[in-house]
Each structure stands twice: as C-alpha cells, then as structure tokens.
Amino acid sequence: MTADIARTTAAERAGVSDGLPWIEDAGQVAPQDARRLSKLFFDRLQTLDEGTHEYQYARNTLIEMNLSLVRFAAGRFRNRGSGDMEDIVQVGTIGLIKAIDRFDLSREVEFTSFAVPYIVGEIKRFFRDTTWSVHVPRRLQELRVDLAKAKERLAAGLDRDPTVRELAEHLGLEEEEVTEGIVAANGYTAGSLDMPADSAEPAGRAIGARTYADVLGEPDPAMESVENLHTLAPLLGELDARERRIIDMRFGLEMTQAQIGEELGISQMHVSRLLSRILRTLRSGMFTQD
C-alpha cells in the first residue's frame, strides 16, 4: 500500500497546498528534510477540516515523506518466515498511517520515535496472525518468542541447550507450560512430506531416500473397536445377571443359540428373542452416547 496523492494542475496546486509548500514527489524527500517538513505539515493538518482537498494533500504528503521509516523497520524482518518484502512494507504502511492519524505535536516527541513502534507492531501482528502453519492460541505464539530468547541466553552461559526444567525456572513457569510451548512451536513452520525422514540426511541425497511420507502412519482399524468397547462397557453393566450371561455365552464363549437354550432350559426361539432385545437395547444406548 502506498500513499495516493492526487496529481493536480498548476492552478489547483495553489489551493490544495495553501499554507504548505507544494511537493511534487514526496517520496524523494531526504530523511533530514522529511523530519523538518513533517513538523510543518502536522501543524497545518491540525487546523484543516478532515475530508477537504487541503487535508488530504497534507496527510498523503506526510505518508509519502515518511515511507523511509517503513522500509527501515521492514528491513528487520527481511529474513523472517516466508513473508514477501512487498507485503511487509504494505503492512508497515498501515502502522505509519495509524501513527500519523494519532500523532500530536503538543507531546513534544519526534514523529520518528512515535511512529516506529506503530509500524513494527503492525508488522509483528502480521507475522503472528499469518505465518503460523498451524493455528495455535496467541498465548503460545508469544511463549514461543520468550522460549527462543531464553534458550539463546541460557545456552550461552551453559555451553549447551537448556533443559525444560532450566527454561521453566528461568521464565518462572511450570514445566508443563514450557513443554506445551515447545510442542506448539512446531506449528510455526511446516515441512514437506517429501523431505528425508532422517534429519541428518543431506538435502540433495540421491533418489530413493526414505521420506516422511514413506513412514507416515495410517488409521488403525482396531481403534474403532477399542472405542466401541469403551462405550459398550457401562451399557453392559446396566443389564441384569441373566442378560449379561446370555451375552457372555453368545459372544464370549461363542456358543450357539441351541446350546444357550439347553444351558438355560429354554427354547432356541426364546434365546433368539432375548438376544434380539438385548442387542437392540445396547445398540440404542451406543447411538445415544454418540
């Protein structure tokens, strides 16, 4: 995003820039001159009515004159994540515009000192909200930064990577919180499934190397059975002793209906009706819990 200053005729310029110098290409103003001119434009901006041509000229000229601040701040993030430099500058310009709209000359603070935190804050917010491959809570995103700084500081003194306990003590956190933050940090970037599964393998290894896709697990069909059994267990407990015995003989001992009838002294038809009713009750209970 760049400031859009309307190009006017020579006759119009006198009215638009009334009380202010006309600057044909504000983006080419040297930083030292921009600081001096910015004070003049801010002073005039406070007396102009918002929405007028004069106000727009003053505001847009301030934006273009101070774009060098955005480029300076954006340079700090050049090698961070996968953000395109043009996108970073656009986001930083939003911060610059916010700073211009909120700046007050009466504070006696240099505009550069006031604007840079707005610009940097907007860029950081951009990275925080868009560069994570997997969305994690903002608390954990911020913890990732604290952990990175703590690791660097402790590693310099210990001459090795710090343990979870040492990180927790340094940050005043519980070990579980540190572990959670470390795990969440894995969601910052995503790797390709075609990467070598052995992290020690060189990037240009010959074709045929085992990749993450080759060792990626698949859903275990038996897991559904385990879940069903956990759901079924309390339902079986609600059956009476006779019903549980019938279920055990039929599905535990794998007895036939005729054998069950003989064991209980009832007909095979009666056993069939009992089994149908018990299974219908259990099935209904499982569907209700789902």
The structure's pTM equals: 0.44
Residues 6+ apart with CB under 8 A from 242: 264
pLDDT at residue 221 in the model: 66
pLDDT in tens, 30-72: 877 888 888 888 888 888 888 888 888 989 999 998 998 898 8
Tell me where in the chain the CATH 1.10.10.10 domain(s) lie: 133-191, 221-289
- Between CA 67 and CA 175 the distance in angstroms is 44
Structure tokens at 245: 């015995």
Q: How far is CA 220 from the centre of its chain?
A: 30
User: Which candidate, 189, 15, 41, places its Cα nearest to that of 111?
Assistant: 41
Task: Report residue 226 CA to chain centroid gap.
Answer: 33
Fold annotation for 10-130: Four Helix Bundle (Hemerythrin (Met), subunit A) (1.20.120)
Listed in order, the ranges of the chain carrying CATH 1.20.120.1810 are 10-130
Can you name the CATH fold of 133-191?
Arc Repressor Mutant, subunit A (1.10.10)
Phi/psi of residue 231, nearest 5 degrees? -75, -35
Query: What CATH fold (topology level) applies to the domain 221-289?
Result: Arc Repressor Mutant, subunit A (1.10.10)
At 97 the pLDDT is 92
**CB–CB of 98/122 below 8 Å?**
yes
Are 144 and 184 in contact by the 8 Å Cβ rule? The answer is: yes
Which segments in the chain show pLDDT lower than 70?
A: 1-18, 79-83, 128-138, 140-141, 184-226, 288-290
- Please tell me the predicted confidence (pLDDT) of residue 111: 87
Structure confidence at residue 3 (pLDDT): 40
Query: Residue 10's pLDDT is what?
Result: 43
Helix 111-130, helix 31-45: angle, nearest 10: 100
Q: What local confidence, expressed as pLDDT, does residue 250 receive?
A: 87
Per DSSP, the three-state class of 178 is helix
User: Which pair of structure tokens corresponds to residue 176?
Assistant: 């579980």
